[in-house]
Structures are given as C-alpha cells and as structure tokens.
Amino acid sequence: MDNDAPPSPTVALVDDDRNILTSVSIALQAEGFAVRLYSDGDTALKALIENQPDLVVLDIKMPRMDGMEVLRRLREKSQVPVIFLTSKDTEIDEALGLAMGADDYIGKPFSQRLLIERIRAVLRRTANRRVAIDAAEAEAPAGDPIVRGRLTMDPARHRVFWDAGEGRRGDVALTVTEFMILETLAARPGFVKSRDQLMDAAYSHDVYVDDRTIDSHIKRLRKKFRAVDHQFKAIETLYGVGYRFNEE
C-alpha cells in the first residue's frame, strides 16, 4: 500500500431505498471511493455536519426529513457539494434542489455509470476551485477582488458581496457552481452568455447537463441576492439567447 497516495474521496449516500444504497455503494467502492450510507435524512444531517464527506448524493423523497430540508439545513453549516437524486415526475426548476443550492442532479431510474461520472465532474470542479483559491492566496494573500458596480467577488476566498445601498453590504454565500456561473457573467458586463457557454464554464465537457439546469442555478443566484437586496436585477434574461450581467 502506498502511504503517500491521496486518500480516497468520501461520498455519502442518503436514500431510504436499501436496494439503491447497496447497489450504488458497491459500484462506488469498485471505483475507489470511500462510502458512507444513511437511510434517513435526520440521521444523515447530523453525521454530514459533524464529519463532512467530500460529496453527498441525496434523495429528495424520504420520510421524516426529505432531501430538500436536509439540504436547507446543511447549507446553513456547509458548502459540501451535493448531487440530488430525483423522481422522473419532479419539476426541474422547483423540486430538483438546484434552487436550494445543490450542485447537480440525476433522475431516477439512473445509470450507475452516469452517476459516477457526475460525481467525478462535481469533485473536479470543487478541486479546481480549491486549487485556484490556494494559488491566489499563495501569490497574493490580500487578493484582488473583482468589482463590477455593486458586486464584489473575491475568488481567492470564494466570497461574494453585494452593496445594497445605504451603507449595507451583504455577504452572499454561493456554491462552487453558482460562483463559477456568476464569475463568467461578471467577467464581461453587458455581454450575453448563452446557456452553452455557462454550462462549459461550470461543467466538464464530458457531462451532459440539461439547459434548464442553468436556468435553475440562475434562479437560485437571483434568490440569494434578493435576500440581501430585494431590488436586485443585475442578472438579466434575454429569452432565447441567454443571460448577461449588468453593472448598476
């Protein structure tokens, strides 16, 4: 055994379906992942906060505490990447959990190979963001924030602020995916970014993502900023074209 080898990524599976827990955990372990299993949301939430994994695969429909509530409470304490498992009849822009801060989703029934690819893609995005943060902090500890009108983004510390006026400056907590989408839009204010361009910025090229996934992330971004400033309208939709960021 190579003692210098990096530890295996730890994936937490949360689902009340024992068959899914068993089959997916076997598939993940065969791919070199360490796996933790939870069959209800309440137990999972406590464990995820106390001993954070590298990524969570979380079912939405569970008794006692559903996945939406687990994610809502988890996001109060942690930005650990989350992939939602959803039913076929789930509305993408409402029940997928992207609107609650999940990083990705996959619908049931699903291919285990596709799930593993999605897990790797989210872990890569998270790792790349951490590398960028570490590099920026090493080169310039103070960091050079990106300022676009009332928006301030600090990539080195993965922090976002919005000037809500009258001396109020709100701290907006974003997931890695949300941060990358906003950073892409804010890089060139006034220029339109298509959904494809935003998908390329936030997802690996080998992972298929539905257009509506980007729409859900945009909806969540707006909701988070409007919690700080209810008049926020800097992210503009151009129907049939894409999105753009307008400096205010």
82 located within any domain: yes
Q: Do 181 and 235 lie in a common domain?
A: yes
134 located within any domain: no
pLDDT beyond 50 at 41: yes
pLDDT of residue 1: 44
User: In this structure, what CATH number is given to the domain that contains residue 151?
Assistant: 1.10.10.10
Q: Do 14 and 113 lie in a common domain?
A: yes
Q: Do 47 and 71 lie in a common domain?
A: yes
Q: Do 60 and 147 lie in a common domain?
A: no
From 105, 127, 149, the end of a domain falls on 127
212 located within any domain: yes
Residue range of the domain that includes 231 = 140-245
28 located within any domain: yes
- What's the CA angle centered on 174, arms 170 and 175, to 5 degrees? 170
**What's the mean pLDDT when you consider all of the chain?**
82
Q: What is the tally of structural domains in the chain?
A: 2
Q: Do 24 and 118 lie in a common domain?
A: yes
Q: What is the mean pLDDT of residues 164-178?
A: 78
* Better-predicted residue by pLDDT, 76 or 54: 54
pLDDT of residue 12: 95
pLDDT beyond 50 at 93: no
Q: What is the mean pLDDT of residues 95-119?
A: 79
98 located within any domain: yes
Q: Do 63 and 172 lie in a common domain?
A: no
3 located within any domain: no
Q: Do 102 and 167 lie in a common domain?
A: no
From 71, 104, 127, the end of a domain falls on 127
User: In this structure, what CATH number is given to the domain that contains residue 110?
Assistant: 3.40.50.2300
Confidence grade of residue 25 (pLDDT, cut at 50, 70, 90): very high
From 104, 127, 150, the end of a domain falls on 127
Q: Do 155 and 80 lie in a common domain?
A: no
pLDDT of residue 139: 53
Q: Do 123 and 37 lie in a common domain?
A: yes
What is the per-residue pLDDT across 109-167, written as a single tens digit (0 to 9) for each? 888 898 999 899 888 888 876 665 555 555 544 457 888 989 999 887 788 999 866 66
pLDDT of residue 95: 47
Q: Do 170 and 211 lie in a common domain?
A: yes
1 located within any domain: no
Q: Do 190 and 98 lie in a common domain?
A: no
Q: Do 103 and 205 lie in a common domain?
A: no
